[in-house]
């Protein structure tokens, strides 16, 4: 069934107006404001500073570095788990239990989760106290606000998305390959 032009315009009108008012217009105003000085003169000085200041390039490089590390950790830990869930976990109860454990942290507010990790990684937190008690370190380690903590927290937060996505792809590809094998199997005559 094909809809007419008037119906298409009416269907798209609301979302287009919303997109224009709350995304395109504010974005255009922000871009225009970034190319002006305080007294309203047009300038590209802000963009020149952005392109030439090494501070911004270091931040950009650090961002990509953290993103790459988190992606590799999530893939290294998430792919085997997704593979196990798809091909090796025979018991539906085991599979459900793993999915529940995997998805439960997503129901926790990000602020609450962050405070929990701060408490665990703080100078007097669970990790430092355990290391001190075991005698592995002489003084508490500065874990809470380090790059390592950021990578661990991001990997912890994003791991469920990696596992769920990869498991879904593996399940769909397995079904597709099974259908292809069944239809292209040689027949005996």
Read off the pLDDT of residues 14-50 as tens digits, 9 standing for 90 and up: 999 999 999 999 999 999 999 998 898 999 999 999 9
pLDDT of residue 182: 66
pLDDT tens-digit profile of 130-187?
999 999 999 999 998 899 999 999 999 999 999 999 999 999 887 667 666 667 666 6
Has residue 13 got a pLDDT over 70?
yes
pLDDT of residue 20: 97
pLDDT of residue 166: 96
Q: In sequence order, what are the residues at sequence separation of 6 or more whose Cβ sits closer than 8 angstroms to the Cβ of residue 149?
A: 117, 121, 143
Has residue 83 got a pLDDT over 60?
yes
Fold of 54-178: MetI-like fold (1.10.3720)
Backbone dihedral angles phi then psi of residue 184, each to the nearest 5 degrees = -105, 10
In terms of DSSP H, where are the helices of 35-146?
A: 45-52, 54-83, 92-103, 110-121, 126-134
pLDDT of residue 85: 94
The residues facing 36 across adjacent strands are 42
Q: Strand, helix or coil at 160?
A: helix
Q: What is the mean pLDDT of residues 86-112?
A: 92
Domain ranges of the chain: 1-52, 54-178
CA 112, CA 153: separation in Å to the nearest integer?
13
Are the C-beta atoms of residues 153 and 117 closer than 8 Å to each other? yes
pLDDT of residue 110: 87
- As a whole number, the mean pLDDT across the chain is 91
Backbone dihedral angles phi then psi of residue 36, each to the nearest 5 degrees = -125, 155
pLDDT of residue 133: 95
Q: In sequence order, what are the residues at sequence separation of 6 or more whose Cβ sits closer than 8 angstroms to the Cβ of residue 3?
A: 11
The residues facing 42 across adjacent strands are 36
Closest CA to 81 of 67, 102, 100: 102
CA 140, CA 124: separation in Å to the nearest integer?
7
pLDDT band (50, 70, 90) for residue 94: very high
pLDDT of residue 181: 67
């Amino acid at each position: 069934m094909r809809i007419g032009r008037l119906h298409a315009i009416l269907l798209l009108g609301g979302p287009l107006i919303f997109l224009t008012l709350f995304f395109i217009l504010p974005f255009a105003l922000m871009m225009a404001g970034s190319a002006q000085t305080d007294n309203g003169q047009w300038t590209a000085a802000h963009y020149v500073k952005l392109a030439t200041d090494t501070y911004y390039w270091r931040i950009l490089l650090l961002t990509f570095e953290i993103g790459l590390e988190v992606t590799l950790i999530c893939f290294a830990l998430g792919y085997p788990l997704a593979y196990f869930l798809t091909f090796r976990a025979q018991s539906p109860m085991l599979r459900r239990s793993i999915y529940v454990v995997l998805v439960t942290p997503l129901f926790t507010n990000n602020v609450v989760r962050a405070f929990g990790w701060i408490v665990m990684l703080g100078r007097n937190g669970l990790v430092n106290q355990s290391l001190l008690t075991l005698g592995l370190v002489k003084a508490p380690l500065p874990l809470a606000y380090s790059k390592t903590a950021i990578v661990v927290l991001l990997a912890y937060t994003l791991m469920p998305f990696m596992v769920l996505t990869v498991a879904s792809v593996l399940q769909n590809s397995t079904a597709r390959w099974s259908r292809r094998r069944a239809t292209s199997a040689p027949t005996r005559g």
